[in-house]
Chains A and B, each alone.
Chain A
Amino acid sequence: MSAWAVWAMAAPEPPHGATLGGALEMVALGCIAVAVLGLLLVEFVFKSSMARSTYRWTLLLGLFVLPGVALMGTTGHMFESMKTVEACHSCHVMDPFVGDMHDPRSATLAARHYRSGAIPDKQCYACHTGYGIFGTVEAKRDGLRHWLLYVTDTWKDPLTYKGTYPNANCLACHATAPTFTRVDSHKALSTQLANDEMSCFTCHGLPHPARPTRAPTRVTAHP
C-alpha cells in the first residue's frame, strides 16, 4: 500500500457531508475524463498545430500521469468505501450482525453503540480495526480473508471472531471516561485488560447476538 493511500485513509473526513471516499472518487473520475478528452483533442484536433515536444508531454500526461492519479484515486476510493457498513453488509453473511445493530430493541453492544450515536459512521470498521497503521493493514487483510471465504463459499456457521479481540479498541474511547475509571473492578483487572487476558465483553456482554441465537448465515437454497 502506498504511503499516499495510508495518508488518505488516516486523513480526517471532509466536513459538511462530503466524504473522503466521494472526493477520491471524483478525483479519479475527473482524471479519467480529462485524460480521455485531452487525448482525443490532442490527437484529432490540435496535433498538427502543436510542437512535437508539447505533443509528447501531453501524451505522457494523458496516457500515464492522469491514469496513474486516477488509479490512486480509485484505490483510495475503494479502501475508503470499504469502511462503510454498507460495504460489509454487501455480503449477506453479515445480515444477522448488521440487522441486529440496526434493531432498536437489541441490547447487544453493537446495537447500543449504534443507537447512542457514539460511533457516528463506519461502525463495523471502527470496532474491527486496531489502531495505527498495522491495525489498518490487519483489517484490510482480514477483510480480504472474509471476501475470499465468501466468494469461495468456504465459511463456516456460526461465524466466530478468530483470536482475541483487542480491548484497546474499547479502551481507546472509554479508558479516560469517569464511568470507566471509577469502577474498582476495572482498576483491579487493569493489567489483564491491558494484556487482553480478560475481555471487556465478558462483563459487558457480547457485541453481536450470541452464536446460538443468531440466524444461520447460509442461504438455505445453497446448502
Chain B
Amino acid sequence: MNLTRRELLHYFGVTAATGLMGPGCIGWTREEAIPVDSWHKSVCRFCGSGCETRVGLRGGKVVKVEGLQAGWNRGRLCIKGLLNREILYVSDRAQYPMVRKDGQLVRVSWDEALDAAAAGFREAMAQGGPDAVAFYGSGQLFTQESYTANKLFKGGIGTNNVDGNPRLCMASAAFGYKSVFGADEPSGCYDDIEHATLFFVIGANMAECHPVVWERVRDRLRTAPETRVIVVDPRRTPTARDATLHLQIRPGTDVALLNAMAYELLRTGLVDPAFINDFVTFRKGTADSPPLTLEDLRAFLEDYAPEKVANLCGLSSAEIREAARLFGISQAALSFWTMGLNQQTHGVAANRMMMALHLLTGQIGRPGAGPFSLTGQTNAGGGVRDTGSLSHALPAGRVVTKEHDRQDMERLWGLPEGRISPHPGLSAVPLFEAMREGKVRAALVMATNPARSLPNADRYRVGMEKAFLVVSDSIFPTDTAQYADVFLPAAMWAEKEGVLSQSERRYHLVEKLVEPPGEARSDLDILVALGERLGHGALLKARTPEAVWDEWRMVSAGTTYDFSGMTYARLKELPGLTWPCPTEQHPGTCRRYVPGEDPLAKKEGRIDFYARPDGRAIVYLSEQGPFRESLTSDYPMTLTTGRRLEHWHTATLTGRIAQLKGIDIDYLEIHPGDAAVMGVKEGELVQVTSARGTVRLKALPSMRVRPGVVFALMHSTEHLVNAATSDYLDPTSAQPEYKLAAVRVERVKEGT
C-alpha cells in the first residue's frame, strides 16, 4: 500500500483523535465572557470617525458591541464605541410623550402630544407666516430623518429655517470645500493614511476626539517611522505628544500661520507649478470675483512672511519655516482638521488656506495626499451637509438662492413652482436670537441639546423659554427639554433604522435590532406624524427608512454627490460604501476628482475638479483679519474649549453611564505660571468671566496650555461652560467662535 506523507499524517491524526483525546478535545472551546445569540453589523453612534461595529444580541437586548474586523477600523473602537451598549440602558431614557400643563411636563398620549405640537406650529404660522417656525436638527439623526425634516419644512411648510448643530461644528469646512472645489466634503479617504508621509494636524485633537482614526495614523507611524507629524494646537494634547513638530499656536491665528507657510513654500520653490498652471485659479472673497494670478498671491503674502507673523502666532519663524519645509518636501501630505480650525470667526478663511497649501503643492488627488476635515458627529456629513439640511442649502449640493436648484427640488418633490423660498433661512445662532426676539415662535428641536451647546448659551435660553418648543430626544431630561412645551421620546441607534455617513463619505446602514423603551418612536415616525397633522402628509409619501433612502438616492442622481448605486441591499451586505457611487456595480470612490478613480471625473490628466465650472479649484487670498474679541485688562486671558476621550458633546449620553461618572469634566486647565500669579492651587475653584457670562470650575494647573490660555471641556454637566464662550460668527459660514473668548480668571474665595 502506498501512502503519501499527508495520508500517513491523517491516519496518525485519526488514531490520536480517537485513542487519546478525541472526546472533549476537538469540540472544546474557551467560554465567552458574555454569551451572544446573534451578531449584527452596525456603526458607532458617537463621533464622525464612524467606526463599524458588530452588535451581539441576547434575549432581545444588546449585550455586546465590538469593532468589525472587516470595517475600515479593523476591529477597533474607542471607549465610547464600547459603551454603545450601555447608552441604550441608562436610567434616563425618554419613554413617554409629555406636554407642558400649568408649567409642568405631564405624560400624555402620542396623539395628544402630536396634536399639541401641530397646534403650536399652526398658531405660530398664523401669527408670523411660515418663517415663524423652524427646525433645529442634528448630526446625530439618520440621513432619512434629516432629509425628511428638510423636505417637510422647506418644501411643505415653506420656510428655510432649517438648521442644526452641524452649523456649530462643520459649517466653515462645508463652506470652505464648496467655495474651493465647488462641492462639499473631503476628497480623500482613510486609506490615504497608509500612504501619507506627512500628517499635518491643525485644530484637531484626534487622539481624543477621533481616536480610532488616530490609531490608524499611529499604525502608519509604527510601521513607517520616517513619517512625520506636525500638530498645530494651542494645547499640548495627547495628539501633540506624537508630533515631530508641535506648533503651540496662539488661538485664532491659523490663517496667519497658513499664509506664512504658503509664503515660505513659494519662496523656497516647494510648490508644483504644473499643477497650479493646469488646475488652480486665484480669487479673493468669493468664487465669482475677478480672477487673480500667482503673482498677486505672492504680493499678497509679502505681509505674511514668517518673521512678520511669528509674534502674532506665538511661534518662532524657524518653526513656521520648518513646518512649511516638511510640508513641501513630503511625498504625500495629508492634513486633518476639525473644530479648532472651524470654530472661529476666520473659520472659512482658515479652511480655504489649508486647502490652498495642498493646491499650491499639488498634494491632492494621489494616495496619501489631500485636505481632510473630520466631522464631529456621526452623521453631520451625510445627514446634514449632503441632504442640505442647513438654512442656505438644498439636497446634494444645491442651494436655495439658485433658481435652477430650487426648481430642481420642486420637480423632484412634486411641488408647485416657486414653493421653495429663495431666501436663506436663519442659521443656528440667529435662529435662537430670532426666538428671543419673538420672530420665530415655534421650533422643533431633534436629537440635540442647544440649551447647553450654543455659545453664550444663557442668552439663547431666553429664546427657548419664549418660543413654543417641541423637543424630540432619547434622553429625558436634557437641558433643552426643560424648555420644551411638548416633549417627544425618540428611539436611538439600534432601536431604529437608518443610514449614517462619516468623515470619509462612507455611508452605513444601522439596522433596527431591539425595541425602544416605553413608547419611544423613531424621529422619522415623529416627523411623518407631525407632517400629517400640519397638512403635508401627501408630500411625505416615503415613510419607511428604505423608501426615504430610495427617494434620496433619486434626488442625488446626476449631481456631484450621486448615491444612486448605494442600494439598501448593498448597504445591508457591505461594511459601508463611499460616494460618488453612481451605479449598483460601482465599488465606491476613495479619491474624488481623480480620473479613473472617481466615476464623475471625465477629463484625462491628474485631476478633474468637475464641480467647478472651469474644472479648476480656487486658491483664495485670505486675510487673517482682526480678532473679534481682543484681550484687554478686564479680560486678559483666552478661553478655548474642547472635548476629552471618554465623554461626548454635552454628555447627555456619556454623562449617564455609570463607568464614566468618575471621570472629571469640570476643570479648567491653566498654565502653572498663570496659576501661581493668581495664587490658585489644583482643585481650587476659579471663576471664568467673559463679556457674556461666568462659569466656575476647578483649577487644574497644567503645562498642556500655553501661558495666557485656559481650556475647559464642553462636556461639563455641572457648570455651563458655554455661558462664557463667544457667539461671534464667521461672516461666511455663520459658525460661532467657540475656540476664542477673552476672559478673566479669578480665584473664588471660600463662601462666595
Contact = CB atoms under 8 A, between A and B. Distances in A.
Interface stretch (A20-28, A51-59, A185-193): A185-193
Contacts of A181: none
> Taking each of B9, B28, B30, B662, which has the highest tally of chain A beta carbons within 10 Å of its own beta carbon?
B30
A163 B219 contact: no
A141 B14 contact: no
A105 interface: yes
Contact of B69 (A185, A187, A210, A222): A210
A198 B645 contact: no
Interface in B16-36: 16-17, 20-22, 25-26, 28-34
Contact of B34 (A104, A197, A201, A210): A197
A179 to B, nearest CB: 12
Interface in A167-219: 184-185, 187-189, 191-192, 195-199, 201-206, 210-213
Contacts of A164: 30-34
B25 A148 contact: yes
Contacts of B30: 138, 162-164
Interface stretch (A34-42, A75-83, A119-127, A149-157): A149-157
A145 B28 contact: yes
B547 interface: no
Interface size class on chain A is 35 or more
B76 A148 contact: no
Contacts of A106: 223
A112 B222 contact: yes
B497 interface: no
Interface stretch (B77-85, B89-97, B118-126): B77-85
B725 to A, nearest CB: 24
Interface size class on chain B is 35 or more
A199 B75 CA distance: 11
> Taking each of A112, A188, A195, which has the highest tally of chain B beta carbons within 10 Å of its own beta carbon?
A188
B9 A202 contact: no
Nearest to A104: B223
Contacts of A145: 21, 25-26, 28
Given A141-B21, A164-B31, A151 B67 contact: no
A219 to B, nearest CB: 10
A144 interface: yes
A212 B645 CA distance: 29
Contacts of A152: 10, 13-14, 17
B293 interface: no
Contacts of B663: 184, 187-188
A94 B660 CA distance: 40
24 contacts: A138-B30, A141-B28, A142-B28, A144-B20, A145-B28, A150-B13, A151-B16, A152-B13, A154-B26, A163-B30, A164-B34, A184-B646, A185-B78, A185-B646, A188-B660, A191-B659, A201-B75, A202-B81, A203-B77, A205-B74, A205-B76, A206-B75, A210-B75, A212-B70
Interface of A: 104-107, 112, 138, 141-142, 144-145, 147-154, 162-164, 184-185, 187-189, 191-192, 195-199, 201-206, 210-213, 222
